[in-house]
Amino acid sequence: MDGEEPVGFYVLSLITDPFINVPTTLFVWIAYAMPGKWGLIPRHLQDIKERARYLGVDKVEMMSPRKGWLRKLEPLGWEVSEVIMATKV
């Protein structure tokens, strides 16, 4: 919120490890901020990390085809954890 007007949102999902059947990761499925509101994102990413700790998981992940996210997140301590390759069939 910026004052009383919403300026963005995020949708989170717990990922459960299929072998041990325990949640291990909090996944940021959708993250959006209105143009010009990037300054609010670091605070909300900290909130997401706190939510992950509360839920007992030790990792937060997100995916995006937009490399701009990586440029914005690296200074906040985020890093590439895997690369996904794909092809159309």
- Highest averaged pLDDT of the listed ranges 11-15, 41-45, 68-72: 11-15
Residue 1 has pLDDT above 60, yes or no: no
Report the largest interatomic distance among the alpha carbons of the chain, rounded to a whole angstrom: 48
Burial class (CB in 10 A: 0-12, 13-18, 19+), 24: middle
Residue 3 has pLDDT above 80, yes or no: no
Please give the structure tokens belonging to residue 5.
């007007």
- Highest averaged pLDDT of the listed ranges 15-19, 32-36, 65-69, 85-89: 15-19
pLDDT digits (tens, 9 = 90+) for 45-80: 899 999 999 999 999 999 888 888 888 889 989 999
Using an 8 Å Cβ cutoff, are 9 and 44 in contact? no
